Amino acid sequence: QPKTIYITRLLPEPVMTALRERYALVSEPLENQIPTGDDQRRGFAQAEAVICTLADPITDDLLAAAPRLKIVANYAVGYNNIDVAAATRRGIVVTNTPDVLTDATADLTWALLLAVARRMVEGDQWARSGQWPGWAPTQMLGTDVTGKTLGIIGMGRIGQAVALRAQGFRMPVLYASRRPCSPPPGVSTWVHRPIEDVLEQADFLSLHVPLSDTTRHLIGSRELAMMKPTAFLINTSRGPVIDEAALFAALREGTIAGAGLDVYEREPLITDGLEALPNVVLLPHLGSATQQVRIKMGMLCVENIAAVLAGRPPVNPVNRQG
């Protein structure tokens, strides 16, 4: 008899097929369908395994009402949406999807950096508008990227993948992280510095820390004031790492030059007024959003579930028990 799985969201088709072949699904959500509290309680009450997303808070209450649950497979690398301590206490394995989304997220970080530096969204709007009068020497001038200093806070897998791409732009990398990392052979331009130095010296500052109690509001008005007025802030990590109200004020007042944001403090809400600023580029949390990566993330969830339901250790454990 197939085991019962609850998925909070519709997943890409090859993943749905793999799940349908092996398991009984509590329900099949539609695209963009957000589960209600009742949906979730029903799902958790029946399931031996759950696949959830970064937009689904998994609380101790939900876990307490899940008597058969063995594993929560988070369809994301960041797992701040899950009460991992509660899961661990209840013997429930939590897994995530690292590695498969590292390059896509690093690529999107660069897309944001380039877009905000070279005013790509404004330019696209102008080109489409029928109002562009033709080339002119002083038109829509942006700022240089090549040769500037890239600051990175959080030098894990994604931070390092972003730093590697800086080679092509001949950008020295200053980074703050708990531990210095060893750059790949031949790379001599990664320098480990205290966070204050990185804030003060970066022309582009990119955030790659996980969200935790220590990184919540890591960037607030004090930190923004330390940055160069010509600097740009890029965030593809988690929204609450930035105090979004402070960022809005800094952008409006010219404390920094601009920002490229993929994540927000209260998704899907975005601080009022940000959308009206010309010096920001705003994306709807697309870091891992490629067809290939979203399939790989799903297949990793399936692998982790298969392992745990067969009594084997998961491939990507977040807690160590269960």
Cis peptide before 278 (omega within 30 of 0): no
Residue numbers at the binding site for ligand GLV (CB under 6 A): 54, 76-78, 98, 101-102, 156-159, 208, 287-288
Task: Check if the beta carbon of residue 80 is closer than 8 Å to that of residue 34.
Answer: no
Rounded to the nearest 5°, which phi and psi values hold at 235? -130, 115
Per annotation, catalytic residue among 119, 157, 193, 238: 238
Per annotation, catalytic residue among 9, 122, 200, 267: 267
Closest distance of CB 159 from ligand GLV, Å: 6
Confirm whether 208 is a catalytic residue: no
Q: Is 15 strand, coil or helix?
A: helix
Output 78 or 314, the one with its CB closest to ligand GLV: 78
Confirm whether 267 is a catalytic residue: yes
Output 119 or 208, the one with its CB closest to ligand GLV: 208
Confirm whether 266 is a catalytic residue: no
Name residues whose C-beta falls within 8 Å of residue 236's C-beta, 6 or more positions apart in sequence. Answer: 105, 108, 109, 112, 158, 206, 207, 208, 262, 263, 287
Which tokens sit at 109? 């970080």
Q: Is 299 strand, coil or helix?
A: helix
Per annotation, catalytic residue among 119, 193, 208, 285: 285
Measure the CA–CA gap between 50 and 74, rounded to whole angstroms. 8
Closest distance of CB 208 from ligand GLV, Å: 5
Output 26 or 298, the one with its CB closest to ligand GLV: 298
Closest distance of CB 217 from ligand GLV, Å: 18
Closest distance of CB 15 from ligand GLV, Å: 15
> Which amino acids are annotated catalytic?
238, 267, 285
